[in-house]
Amino acid sequence: ILNVEQSPQSLHVQEGDSTNFTCSFPSSNFYALHWYRWETAKSPEALFVMTLNGDEKKKGRISATLNTKEGYSYLYIKGSQPEDSATYLCASLDNYGQNFVFGPGTRLSVLP
């Protein structure tokens, strides 16, 4: 089973702060990586789908980078807002697998 880790486990920032967190995955046989945003009492929603080393994706104030050689992806949030409060999940797929393995998530709280 692929091991996907995320850090930190939780994070509290002030409104307006920029922040980032990490997803680590085995670099061998990498195939694809997803980032999801999961608000309380809702279901996960896809943010980014990344497949190529060096990929950088952006959606509004949120962006993500991918390093498949060293096995990590960063998610950045610029100028955090209270509505950014959520758990951010990453999920990785390797060449051998038929399905994604999810990390435990980073819980972000943005304080007004």
Partner 1 sequence: NAGVTQTPKFRILKIGQSMTLQCTQDMNHNYMYWYRQDPGMGLKLIYYSVGAGITDKGEVPNGYNVSRSTTEDFPLRLELAAPSQTSVYFCASGNTLTGAQYFGPGTRLLVL
Interface positions with partner 1 (CB under 8 A): 1, 4, 31-32, 34, 36, 42-46, 49, 51, 89, 91, 93, 98-105
Q: Which residues pair with 33 in a beta bridge?
A: 50, 92
- H-helix or E-strand containing 80? none
State the nearest-atom distance from the C-beta of 7 to partner 1, in Å.
13
Residue 74: both structure tokens together? 């960063």
Q: How distant, in Å, are the alpha carbons of 31, 39, 74, 99 from that of 93?
A: 5, 23, 17, 6
Residue closer to partner 1 by CB (options 60, 112) is 60
- What are the phi and psi torsion angles at 111 (to 5°)? -90, 130
State the nearest-atom distance from the C-beta of 15 to partner 1, in Å.
26
State the nearest-atom distance from the C-beta of 47 to partner 1, in Å.
9
Residue closer to partner 1 by CB (options 81, 109) is 109
R_g over Cα of the chain: 13
Residue closer to partner 1 by CB (options 80, 92) is 92
Residue closer to partner 1 by CB (options 15, 39) is 39
